[in-house]
Structure 1
Amino acid sequence: MAPQSNTGAGAEAELPDYAGHYRLESVLGSGGMGVVHLARSTSGMKLAVKVVHAAFARDPEFRGRFRQEVAAARQVSGAFTASVVDADSEAERPWMATLFIPGPTLSGHVKRNGAMSPAELRRLMAGLAEALRDIHRVGVVHRDLKPSNVLLAEDGPKVIDFGISRPKNSELRTETGKLIGTPPFMAPEQFRKPREVGPAADVFALGSVMVHAATGRGPFDSDSPYVVAYQVVHDEPDLTGVPASLAPLVVRCLAKEPEDRPTPDELMRELRSVAASYDTQAFIPAQRTVETPHPGPEPPVEESRRRPRRRRGRWPLVGAGLLGVATAVALGSVYVLGGDGPSPVSGHDPRTTPAAFSPWETTSAPEKGTPQCSYGKETLVCAQKGRVFALDPSDGRQLWRRTVAEAQGGRPVFSGGLVQPALDRSTRLEALDPGSGRTRWRQTVPSYDGLAYAGATLLVTGVDGSVTGVDSASGRTRWSHRIQGHRSPYFTSFAGDPLAYVTSTSEDGASTRVTAVAPDTGKVRWDVRLKGSLQPVGTAGDSVFFVSVDAVYGEARAVVRYTPDDGVSRRVALPVPLEQPQATVRGDLVYLVGSGGSLVAVDMDARKQMWSLETAVTRGSAPVTDGRYVCLSAPDGRLLGVDARDGRLLGQTRPRLGTNADRVADAVPAPVLADARLYATAPDGTVFSVPAGNPAAW
């Protein structure tokens, strides 16, 4: 493709054909300092090449600042930025080539699709906090973080454009005559003391960016940069429309004094409290269309002032998904229903199955995202946004389907012999018959912040800290009281374990209080305080297993086994910390996967790590194991099988991205292991099954 003409005149009217050795194919965007082109290297690699405007190329001071930008961009981690491939700050037209990152800018996304949903906002804020942490670690201050400098990539937001000033025709200038930011996203100190700007200015900008993403405008809004400057320095920000769960964090970011703002590390720690599941979430915001339902809005800022919340991060629930804290008001009336049944699938008797199992696959609705499935009652029940459906596990034939408007697409739960759909903050709970899909009971409850299933009990935790246990089979209340020592209890449960666990970590991360509760009665079975910031990951025999995470960065540093019968705790350090760990337990072996793709096995009896494998799967699913093989799913729909004894990759299925490859699930669902079969799902809407015993044949 020939280079496109710029809209300007004069020396910029015809753009160059090459920057160094790189052929410029088309214009990606144009800013005050230059033009960004899509280019290709000799080998065909896609690049984004920034070419400086000719007028600035003649300015020695500007060339110096461009050299500074190149140096800064080279310093920061490529995980959160566009990695620099090549640059020439001494060329007639200085240029810099970075890896091309597919995805819109945040400003473009908001302009086209409107404000982001609360879940998207949480992922955006977490990604930007991670990016600023890495940028600040190498001594770089961005100073111009704004929506047009944030790219929404598949694996998270990327920050671009380091240290570049705006042109001289800007109305607001520093002592050198160059603007050091963009007024609506500048911190007060950038106007008051521009030579003393530090990392906290980027945190202020992050707060302004979040308001823009949530509302389409900034916290300080005016057509005049002078008015904006006054508002930034003197006025309180306008956070109308920012979700209540994020508003307190945004307010802290927008503090007038740098020392009153949180650091990126503190932000990440707080965000784990806002949404315990964000750690494993990939980031591609869904395009807003009529066919794609979205979660309802969170309460506005005004409501958050009436109902302040404080959350602490916890490990995601196995099989149920942790949704937050809940209300302890008495649950509403129970209605036993049978009239609003599912859409039947004619011509199939669910009791008939083929004599021998063969691999199968079936495709659901790709536009509704990756299905999430659970196995129970000899049925595979799956969910997508707004729908729940059942498949015959022997051949994949659909048995029934239901429209459940509140279904968020999370993994449904088998509890009390019924299917419990994962609902999206709905106050209407319902349980479905696994054989027919008909509603067995429905219950309306006051608004809540979270649910957890443990055995045949639904645990609802209230904003006042009390917990209500509900019989999953009937929807009737069993008990309601507080759990001593835990202000906002978050429960974790594991298949086959009669207990549920709630943990609270001390403010300094030095210790964790662990309480084991009988879910059917609410009675405390044991209570202990253990060393470190611990997250429960599984149980085996009479022991509970935890990962010990760094209180600042959330990296897994060790695996801990606690046996309540004798009070013995055993800790095994990991040779290399794992970021955003997910784990599974079998016997005394713990298998962990990090967000970067590292899969490790830890033998708690031998007190050592047995093996480690780099899978190259970024942000994959939690692992599952039958003792012979360890399996996990990749974001592109692959299922990987690894030898549990030595960590060798034995086989994998093909990718199944489909036509909607620009959309990914919030989290990659773990495969389901049942009856020597594996059931997995993919972004193209496919549900498929393979024998668990021979990964090499997949």
Structure 2
Amino acid sequence: MTLRGGDPAEIGGYRLEARLGSGGMGTVFLGRTDSGRPVAIKLIHQQFAADEEFRIRFRQEVAAARRVSGAFTAAVVDAAPEAEQPWMATTYIEGQTLAQRITDQGPVSGPELRTLAIGLTEALRDIHRAGVVHRDLKPSNVVLSPEGPRVIDFGISRAADQQTLTMTGRVIGTPPFMSPEQLQAPRGVGPRSDVFSLGTLLVYAATGQGPFDADSPYMTAYQVVHEEPALDSVPALLRAVVEPCLAKEPEGRPTADELLVRLRDLPGDLGGAAPTASSARTRDTDTQHHPTAPASERPGRSRLRRRWRPVLAAAVAVAAIGGGIAAVTSDGLGSKTDPTDDGRSHSVAAPAAPLPKGFAPWKTTVLGGRKDIPDELRCVARGDALFCGGGGVLATRIKVSDGSRVWTRTSPGIPVQGMHMVGATDDTVLGYRITDRHPQGEVVAVDADKGRELWAAPSGAQSTAVTGRTQDAVLMGSSVIMIDGSNSRFEARDAHSGKVAWRTPFPAHTQCAPVPVGSRLYAMCAPSAEIGDSEVRHPTLRPLDRSSGTPGRPVAVKGPAVPMGVAAGRLVLLQVHMQGPASAGYEGVARFDPATRQVTYSRLPKPVEGTPGMADGTVYVSGQTGRVTALDPLTGRQKWTRQTSVEGASGPVAGPGALYFSSATGRVVALSPRDGTPLWTTDPQADGLTGEWGASPRAVVAGRALVVAADKNTLFAFDTRKPPRSG
């Protein structure tokens, strides 16, 4: 479709070539990068630009799309949600939408139907494992690429740990493909709502019509909530698998992992649908309402007599996507802790810490292997050396004193939110790399002096699902403890040589992640069935011998719970507050004592929402609106709460007499640890998003200097006694 009169010639520096389509909220264009790479650019209609509710929703769309960028979705290339007319650019996926395919050729059948069903279920599995609920799975949001189906348009999706944004006075979604709970109680929508939508989508693909079609969207919504689906035209083999997906209650539906197991067991040829008169109806790309006979006249509304019987899904990699939280060890990123048995946390810098020799404030941008997909970096300081990594930057060494680069190793992989660095020793820097060959990722070691690659090993991706943190490998002394590429065991390697010291399999029917507790190493494990259900309720902690990997007896923990750090020799975990299937902040503090093997619990007066972190023996939760709450991890009591002007901040990072919190825009606030009194605040340094939850700390203290990472690979440093003036 050619450009029309009045269409822009370029957006954000990308020249436009054609229209790809238009809907109620925006227009999608085909554009080109300077190097000629095609991109799809979604430009929001001008009338919505002044609607703050809509802008918030669009920011969430960009954040969700970035969070799930991978093999089954379109990766975000660039975005400007704060522009006068907001836009987002993603990789261009060649192919028809499923809606176009059905319109042009009729229903899908035979081996093609099985391949489509498996491909869409794999996509949904990865989206859910990234902690995102799509909430608008429909034919026009599925692109049939040569590599398989891709799910696009995260316009009304949300992270599972975020509050649902319900647009005032508006029904959000597409009724023929919405779940009953989405129509009745949208704030309680979870991953199984997407499974319901997938069921309706597969019925549509197989028959050319939805299972709840009616004369109007209102009647369709009624059918979804109260009536049984019309499934007589669905091939019998597929029907047996799809029928449980359409259960009215979420708990009666399978998870994406369970559904995938059933689909893989189906024969290659599923046959075709019975002929229908409406197999190739043209559908509006936004509403997709279906004029058919009234429900009372439609044959084949069979009742769902059989409940889904959960099947233990095979161990499948959990995408290492989603917010990371401050590292627990001294070798990781985030607030440092003393790796001794008492585990007491100490400031990174002494009270009288000097500036690095020859220091002057600086700002720089580090370009990675994918210049069109910049990311946020994370850094760790060792003397005058600053080691950073993330996204297209495997690792880089920068002088703290002036910001000059010593060396940079780039990565061709697509940046994945939450995966930045493993850490650094005196002679080795370890980072993550995502490639087509290793889509789950691999741990890569780089020589700290010269920047040459030393070794690389495939890594599993379990930690986000098990612990709520993106930490699939941890440094302990000169060893890196990681999940191996099979997602079935731990392995310990020498950080510099990569030599394997030991391997230890996960306990049967569990998935695990490494958790340092002071100088001790623990495995936090959860039942595979609960991970597949996205509801980890019964995690366990078991010690691992650091020299041999030999596991000890497990200790049960009330879950879901997120390891935060060590205080008074005990591992501190935040207990997640659940609202139905979705998390809604934190409701309590758990403490595990390695000496007694006891876990004690304290309930918070009320749930606290935001991004958690820990420093100097205190837990902090920074909310999306800028409020920071300090909690005593030993009692669960609130020490103080303070409203700041830095929205969506992560932290804390402890410095001399101050705590530092910063957002993706590079805006920093310094608070007094004693009572949260604001000491100073800086202005933004980058055009970033502030909507990410659970982000790991973006700042690092080097003596009296503070180095801050912001969006688009921006790094800047300044003297904490002379911060950049605000305003």
Q: Greater Rg, structure 1 or structure 2? A: 1
CA RMSD, Structure 1 to Structure 2 (Å) = 5.9
Contact preservation (8 Å) 2:444, 2:456: yes
Q: One-letter code of the match for 1:577?
A: P
Any residues of structure 2 matched to 1:484-503 within 5 Å, and which?
484=507, 487-493=510-516, 497-503=519-525
Aligned to 2:452: 438
Aligned to 2:673: 644
Structure 2 CA distance for partners of 1:488 and 1:542, relative to 1, 3 Å = same
Contact preservation (8 Å) 2:459, 2:482: no
Contact preservation (8 Å) 1:147, 1:209: no
Any residues of structure 2 matched to 1:552-631 within 5 Å, and which?
552=579, 553-554=582-583, 555-567=585-597, 569-587=599-617, 589-595=618-624, 597-604=626-633, 608-615=637-644, 617-626=646-655, 628-631=657-660
After TM superposition, give the deviation of residue 645 of structure 1 in Å. 0.6
After TM superposition, give the deviation of residue 584 of structure 1 in Å. 0.9
Q: Secondary structure at the match of 2:432?
A: coil
Contact preservation (8 Å) 1:636, 1:682: yes
Q: One-letter code of the match for 2:381?
A: Y
Q: Distance in 2 between matches of 1:536 and 1:666?
A: 13
Q: One-letter code of the match for 2:51?
A: L
Q: Secondary structure at the match of 1:221?
A: helix
Structure 2 CA distance for partners of 1:252 and 1:228, relative to 1, 3 Å = closer
Contact preservation (8 Å) 1:559, 1:574: yes
Aligned to 2:409: 402
Aligned to 2:389: 383
Q: Distance in 2 between matches of 1:676 and 1:49?
A: 41
Q: Note if 1:690 corresponds to 2:705.
A: no
After TM superposition, give the deviation of residue 106 of structure 1 in Å. 12
Q: Note if 1:504 corresponds to 2:526.
A: yes
Q: Distance in 1 between matches of 2:595 and 2:210?
A: 68
After TM superposition, give the deviation of residue 602 of structure 1 in Å. 2.0
Which of 231, 234, 246 is the equivalent residue of 1:233? Answer: 231
Aligned to 2:482: 459
Contact preservation (8 Å) 1:37, 1:49: no
Any residues of structure 2 matched to 1:247-396 within 5 Å, and which?
255-259=245-249, 308-309=315-316, 316=324, 318-319=326-327, 355-365=357-367, 367=372, 368-376=374-382, 378-387=384-393, 388-396=395-403
Q: Secondary structure at the match of 1:610?
A: strand
Contact preservation (8 Å) 1:561, 1:570: yes
TM-score by length of 2: 0.55
After TM superposition, give the deviation of residue 502 of structure 1 in Å. 1.7
Contact preservation (8 Å) 2:666, 2:685: yes
Q: One-letter code of the match for 1:355?
A: K
After TM superposition, give the deviation of residue 522 of structure 1 in Å. 1.1
Q: Secondary structure at the match of 1:475?
A: coil
Mean Cα displacement is larger for which, 311-320 or 511-520? 311-320
Aligned to 1:295: none
Q: Could you report, residue by residue, the CA deviation over 1:130-156 in whole angstroms, capped at 9, with x for unpaired residues?
A: 99xxxxxxxxxxxxxx99894579999
Q: Could you report, residue by residue, the CA deviation over 1:96-127 in whole angstroms, capped at 9, with x for unpaired residues?
A: xxx99975799999899999988994499725
After TM superposition, give the deviation of residue 624 of structure 1 in Å. 1.9
For structure 1, the 5+ residue unaligned runs are 7-26, 31-35, 51-76, 82-98, 132-145, 166-179, 191-195, 241-250, 271-303, 322-352
Aligned to 2:66: none
Structure 2 CA distance for partners of 1:121 and 1:569, relative to 1, 3 Å = closer
Structure 2 CA distance for partners of 1:502 and 1:108, relative to 1, 3 Å = closer
Q: Distance in 2 between matches of 1:467 and 1:673?
A: 31
After TM superposition, give the deviation of residue 543 of structure 1 in Å. 1.8
Q: Note if 1:655 corresponds to 2:653.
A: no
Q: Secondary structure at the match of 1:220?
A: helix
After TM superposition, give the deviation of residue 484 of structure 1 in Å. 4.6
Which of 41, 48, 51 is the equivalent residue of 1:47? Answer: 51
Q: How many residues are matched? A: 505
Q: Distance in 2 between matches of 1:49 and 1:489?
A: 39
Structure 2 CA distance for partners of 1:502 and 1:37, relative to 1, 3 Å = closer
Q: Distance in 1 between matches of 2:632 and 2:646?
A: 23
Mean Cα displacement is larger for which, 613-622 or 627-636? 613-622
Structure 2 CA distance for partners of 1:600 and 1:355, relative to 1, 3 Å = same
Q: One-letter code of the match for 2:643?
A: E
After TM superposition, give the deviation of residue 418 of structure 1 in Å. 0.9
Q: Distance in 2 between matches of 1:161 and 1:609?
A: 33
Q: Could you report, residue by residue, the CA deviation over 1:536-573 in whole angstroms, capped at 9, with x for unpaired residues?
A: 10014522111122255432112233332245655443
Q: Distance in 1 between matches of 2:555 and 2:460?
A: 32
Contact preservation (8 Å) 1:80, 1:158: no
Q: Distance in 2 between matches of 1:162 and 1:311?
A: 37
Q: Distance in 1 between matches of 2:198 and 2:84?
A: 21
Q: Note if 1:473 corresponds to 2:463.
A: no
Structure 2 CA distance for partners of 1:119 and 1:641, relative to 1, 3 Å = farther
Structure 2 CA distance for partners of 1:620 and 1:563, relative to 1, 3 Å = same
TM-score by length of 1: 0.57
Q: Secondary structure at the match of 1:481?
A: strand
For structure 2, the 5+ residue unaligned runs are 7-23, 28-43, 62-81, 99-119, 138-150, 215-228, 260-310, 330-354, 464-471
Q: Note if 1:516 corresponds to 2:516.
A: no
Q: One-letter code of the match for 2:205?
A: D
Contact preservation (8 Å) 1:513, 1:527: yes
Structure 2 CA distance for partners of 1:233 and 1:681, relative to 1, 3 Å = same
Aligned to 2:74: none
Q: Distance in 1 between matches of 2:318 and 2:657?
A: 38
Q: Secondary structure at the match of 2:406?
A: strand
After TM superposition, give the deviation of residue 677 of structure 1 in Å. 2.7
Aligned to 1:422: 432
Q: Distance in 2 between matches of 1:514 and 1:551?
A: 21
Contact preservation (8 Å) 1:458, 1:470: yes
Contact preservation (8 Å) 1:491, 1:501: yes
Contact preservation (8 Å) 1:316, 1:492: no
Q: One-letter code of the match for 1:522?
A: G
Aligned to 2:709: 681
Contact preservation (8 Å) 2:562, 2:575: yes
After TM superposition, give the deviation of residue 605 of structure 1 in Å. 5.4
Q: One-letter code of the match for 1:622?
A: G
Structure 2 CA distance for partners of 1:127 and 1:637, relative to 1, 3 Å = farther
Q: Could you report, residue by residue, the CA deviation over 1:621-675 in whole angstroms, capped at 9, with x for unpaired residues?
A: 23222372221221322122111111122222221234x7799899465212233
Q: Note if 1:221 corresponds to 2:205.
A: yes
Contact preservation (8 Å) 2:199, 2:246: no
Aligned to 1:95: none
Q: Distance in 2 between matches of 1:232 and 1:101?
A: 46
Query: Relative CO higher for 1 or 2, CA cutoff 8 Å, sep ≥ 6?
Result: 2
Q: Distance in 2 between matches of 1:235 and 1:106?
A: 39
Q: One-letter code of the match for 1:557?
A: E
Contact preservation (8 Å) 1:629, 1:643: yes
Any residues of structure 2 matched to 1:142-181 within 5 Å, and which?
150-151=155-156
Q: Secondary structure at the match of 1:469?
A: strand
Q: One-letter code of the match for 1:521?
A: S
Q: Secondary structure at the match of 2:588?
A: strand
Structure 2 CA distance for partners of 1:685 and 1:491, relative to 1, 3 Å = same
After TM superposition, give the deviation of residue 576 of structure 1 in Å. 3.0
